[in-house]
Amino acid sequence: MLASPHIGLPGLVFGLAAYGYGTVSALAVLYLRSLDAGGATIVLSMFALAFLITRFAGSPLVDRVGGVGIATCSLTVESTGLLLAGLIRTESAVLTGAVLAGAGLALMYPATVAITLGRTGPLRPGAAVGAVTSCWDLGIMVAGPLGGVLAVGVGYRAAFVLAAVLGVGAAVVAGSVLRRPVRAGAELVPEK
């Protein structure tokens, strides 16, 4: 099912977004500890709080703006946070970066589901959403080990910068490729 561009491209975007989530989850505490920063005890709570508040307050925007617009904006915010954490090696930068990443990631699930359902229509919506959300799990699964190898070999900053670059790539795919109408489904219209 993921081989279909109807599902594969939203899955790719969702998986790349999840890579950032996995990077924060696996490495933020260790990164802050390497800086001898006190924020190591609260970084994941700040990330989760930003995620939850944004998800609660922002989910209705997906219906008003559209999945592609929200995904593109969300990925930009996530990538900005990851880049901030990667480029500026301070406690406040890592904490702020985690908050931005959490806020950016919050609307990716509703946006990706909207995109996926818009591209597949009523044909097997459960299977389509299941396939796309498996990409989320894959992104998280890869982020920890790969980010860990980077952190040990090059430093935590490199792991966060890589996650930011992947997020930018996902934003480009979301903002350009996913806006195009799907050829195989003439009844489907381009996403906003």
**Two tokens, residue 48:** 């989760």
Phi, psi of 181, rounded to the nearest 5 degrees? -65, 150
Report yes or no: 48 and 170 within 8 Å, Cβ to Cβ: no
pLDDT in tens, 6-41: 788 899 999 999 999 999 999 999 999 999 998 999
Instruction: Select from 135, 191, 182 the least CA-distant residue to 5.
Output: 182
Residue 191 has pLDDT above 90, yes or no: no
pTM comes to 0.90
pLDDT in tens, 141-173: 999 999 999 999 999 999 999 999 999 999 999
Residue 4: predicted pLDDT:
72
Residue 192: predicted pLDDT:
52
Work out the burial of residue 99: count CB atoms within 10 Å of its CB; fewer than 13 is exposed, 13-18 middle, 19 or more buried.
buried
**For the chain, domain boundaries:** 5-179
CATH 3.30.830.10 fits 5-179, yes or no: no
Residue 73: predicted pLDDT:
97
- Within 10 Å of residue 142's Cβ, how many Cβ atoms? 16
Residue 94 has pLDDT above 80, yes or no: yes
